[in-house]
Amino acid sequence: MTTAEIVAVRTSGLGRRHGRTRALRDCALTVEPGSVVALTGAPGAGKSTLLGLLAGLDVPSEGTAEVLGAPVPAGGPHPAVGYLDQARPLPASFTVHETLRLGRALNPGRWDDDRAADLVGALPHGSRVQALSSGQRAMLAVALVLGSTPDLLLLDEPLAGLDPLTRRRVLAAVTAHVANTGAAAVLASHEIEDLQNSCDRVLFLDRGRVLIDSDTDDLLTEHRLLDGPAGSTAWSDGHTVVEQRVHGRNQTVLVRGGPIGATPGWRTSTPGLLEVITAYLRTADDRAEDR
Ligand X SMILES: Nc1ncnc2c1ncn2[C@@H]1O[C@H](COP(=O)(O)OP(=O)(O)OP(=O)(O)O)[C@@H](O)[C@H]1O
CB of 7 to ligand X, least distance (A): 23
Q: Which stretch binds ligand X (CB under 6 A): 46-54, 70-78, 166-174, 237-245?
A: 46-54
Stretch of 43-51, 66-74, 173-181, 194-202 lying at the interface with ligand X (CB under 6 A): 43-51
Nearer Cβ to ligand X, position 97 or 190? 190
CB of 209 to ligand X, least distance (A): 11
Cβ atoms 158, 16 nearer than 8 A: no
Helix (H) and strand (E) counts in the chain: 8, 14
23 is an interface residue for ligand X by CB under 6 A: yes
Closer CB to ligand X, residue 25 or residue 78?
Answer: 25
Tell which one of 21, 30, 64, 269 touches ligand X (CB under 6 A).
21
- Residues 195-254 interacting with ligand X (rule: CB under 6 A): none
Residue 267 in contact with ligand X, rule: CB under 6 A: no
Spatial contact of 134 and 162, defined as CB atoms under 8 Å apart:
yes
- Say whether residue 40 binds ligand X (CB under 6 A): no
Taking the C-alpha atoms of residue 41 and residue 208, their distance in angstroms, rounded to an integer, is 9
Give buried/exposed letters for 18-30 (b at 16+ CB in 10 A, else e): eeeebbbbebebe
Cα atoms in the Cβ-side hemisphere of radius 13 Å centred on 242: 24
Least Å from the CB of residue 180 to ligand X: 29
Residues 6 or more apart in contact with residue 132 via CB below 8 angstroms = 96, 123, 124, 140
Q: Applying CB under 6 A, does 48 fall inside the site for ligand X?
A: yes
Contact (Cβ atoms closer than 8 angstroms) between residue 120 and residue 103: no
For 108, list phi and psi in degrees, rounded to 5. -60, 130
Q: Which residue, 116 or 273, is less far from ligand X as judged by CB?
A: 273
Position 47 contacts ligand X (CB under 6 A): yes
Binding residues for ligand X (CB under 6 A): 18, 21, 23, 41, 43-49
